[in-house]
Amino acid sequence: MEDQSFTRIKEIKKLLSSGNLELSSLEFKSKPIRFTRSSFEKKVLNSIKSGKAHDLERKYLHKEELRKLLFSISEVKELPAEILRLPSLSSFESCHVLVHEKGKPVGQNYYAYHGENQETKLIAVQNFNSLFNLVKKSKNKIFNQSLSLKDDLSVVGNFLAREIDLKNYSVIYLISRNSFLPPSTEEQDEFQALSAFLHPLLLKILDKEKNDLKKEVLRKSLENFPEKIAVKKNNHTVFTNKTDETAYENSNLMIFPIEGEEPMSMELSNISKDQISTELYHSQRVSLLGELLNTLQHELSNPLFGLNLTSSILESEATNPETESVLNEISQNANRSQTIIKNFSNLYNDQQEFKKVNLYRFMEEVITLTKSETKEIAKSIQCIGFEQNLEIITNPTILTQIIFNLIINAAQAIKEHNSDYRKNNITIKLVKSEGNLEISVIDDGPGVKAEHISTIFQPFFTTKDSGTGLGLSICQNLAHQLGTKIEFKNNSPLLGATFSINLPG
């Protein structure tokens, strides 16, 4: 019997080669179209037949409510109130959405109560991380107030909580009736269903808020810049922070191209290239150091807290005095590490903030920051005219940068001059007299050559092969912000150099 499919192919080839495409003359065989029900349709039909359609309808309506939620929120602070407005969760009294941007020292707690305006407050990163890990480890996501952070949440009774881990953010959302009545299984399911919808919503909103904040900071920075800035597009000015053209007619002009689809440029007037480079370099370095220290605090706080807690518990249960002593030492060192990391982060929190600091402890922390560069070089702090508990009001970020740079410079000079630098010393001398405090960094290295003394504070001057020449220039600019200046002298006839600043005592 001849293969029918082969015969059909030969007929089609013959028809195509003849050029006479009379499709009506062809005999086509077709199977009737058959419609099959999807699994969802089958589920609906079965539920209707069994009288369980109400439960399915409730779940469907809940999903519709969540879809509407996606389009009704434009800011994170609106989210708690909108969650409470969901009919399926209307029996709950309060809702909290806690957000922490990874690497930052604090998080935000956005919360709302039924019939009241939404509010926002800060939450310490340690408290946020403790709650996040607690929620993450839980299976049923049901908690009570004994496990909550009362100062941060003010939740009464039982509550539901869920964590969301995004690329740049960690998020916790929770709801509570402010009563001890446990949530039903249906309420738990509907609360958990929120996660799939909140994940893309939070991702979109948080990224938008971050970009909006960056734009606002940039706009204010440009508006408040002390010299004239003009942004031009196709040679037309689209932004300027100064409208008085005559005041800048004879000023220096620097033009920077801006990449984009259309030709744009930024013009800076009346400012030198060296000054721009020095301040920009310093700003970037402080920002990077601050982010690095905050990230370290974020990553190390939980392990150190766990180590401290575990060793304390084991110490209380230990029966051997030697074991108890070792566990006590572990606990103390873990606690000390937490304090050091926290203090380092505080040094770089706010560059404009003046606050009270313990001078001696402050210098100890700065010396600790320099350990990698000053290893094996002896370092000491001398206090003259005051006790070690003296407190001063200063800008810790700026003062840290100055002392840090001076110590690093001293260590590098010693290493270049002497291969066996274990016998060398760097001394921080603190002298308090009436109304004045002198801080000096003294080394016993080679000192500064006479021909270089007049240029050591100029930008880009360096005697090092890999140096930028900006360290002392930045320090001098920072000293001016503290209302003082850095003084220099060689320790003639002794070796080394001394760099000093005077602050109000």
**pLDDT tens-place string over residues 15-35:** 555 555 444 444 544 444 444
Predicted TM-score (pTM) of this structure: 0.42
Do 94 and 243 fall within a single domain? Answer: no
Residue 386, domain member (yes or no): yes
Q: How confident is the model at residue 498 (pLDDT cuts 50, 70, 90)?
A: very high
Q: How confident is the model at residue 10 (pLDDT cuts 50, 70, 90)?
A: low
Do 204 and 61 fall within a single domain? Answer: yes
In the chain, the amino acid numbered 74 is S
pLDDT at 246: 58
268-285: pLDDT as tens digits: 775 554 555 555 555 556
Looking at 282, 306, 341, which one is the last position of a domain? 341
Residue 217, domain member (yes or no): no
Do 390 and 439 fall within a single domain? Answer: yes
Q: How confident is the model at residue 145 (pLDDT cuts 50, 70, 90)?
A: low
Looking at per-residue pLDDT, the higher value among 187 and 301 belongs to 187
Looking at per-residue pLDDT, the higher value among 57 and 354 belongs to 354
Do 237 and 296 fall within a single domain? Answer: no
When pLDDT is averaged across residues 293-320 and rounded to a whole number, the result is: 80
Residue 69: φ, ψ to 5°:
-60, -35
The whole-angstrom separation of Cα 467 and Cα 413 is 12
Question: Residue 433's domain spans which residues?
Answer: 350-504
The whole-angstrom separation of Cα 448 and Cα 489 is 9
The whole-angstrom separation of Cα 364 and Cα 82 is 50
Looking at per-residue pLDDT, the higher value among 253 and 379 belongs to 379
Do 87 and 198 fall within a single domain? Answer: yes
Q: Among the residues of 348-495, which ranges form H helices? A: 359-369, 371-374, 396-417, 471-481
Do 69 and 192 fall within a single domain? Answer: yes
Looking at per-residue pLDDT, the higher value among 365 and 346 belongs to 365
Do 399 and 470 fall within a single domain? Answer: yes
State yes or no: pLDDT of 1 exceeds 50: no
479-492: pLDDT as tens digits: 888 889 899 999 88
Residue 361, domain member (yes or no): yes
Do 298 and 387 fall within a single domain? Answer: no
The whole-angstrom separation of Cα 366 and Cα 388 is 16
Looking at 341, 375, 395, which one is the last position of a domain? 341
Looking at 288, 311, 341, which one is the last position of a domain? 341
Burial degree of 188 (CB within 10 A; 0-12, 13-18, 19+): middle
pLDDT at 21: 46
When pLDDT is averaged across residues 343-366 and rounded to a whole number, the result is: 74
State yes or no: pLDDT of 177 exceeds 70: yes
State yes or no: pLDDT of 339 exceeds 60: yes
Do 324 and 444 fall within a single domain? Answer: no
100-114: pLDDT as tens digits: 998 888 899 999 988
Residue 64, domain member (yes or no): yes
Residue 11, domain member (yes or no): no
Do 335 and 467 fall within a single domain? Answer: no
Residue 420 · residue 455 · CB < 8 Å: no
Highest mean pLDDT among 91-105, 228-242, 246-260: 91-105
50-62: pLDDT as tens digits: 555 555 555 555 5
Q: Count of domains in the chain?
A: 4
Looking at per-residue pLDDT, the higher value among 129 and 13 belongs to 129
Return mean pLDDT, the chain.
77
Residue 36, domain member (yes or no): no
CATH number at residue 451: 3.30.565.10
State yes or no: pLDDT of 448 exceeds 70: yes
When pLDDT is averaged across residues 393-413 and rounded to a whole number, the result is: 88
Residue 205, domain member (yes or no): yes
Do 84 and 154 fall within a single domain? Answer: yes
pLDDT at 343: 59
Do 382 and 314 fall within a single domain? Answer: no
pLDDT at 442: 94
When pLDDT is averaged across residues 133-151 and rounded to a whole number, the result is: 75
Query: Three-state SS for 19?
Result: coil
Residue 3, domain member (yes or no): no
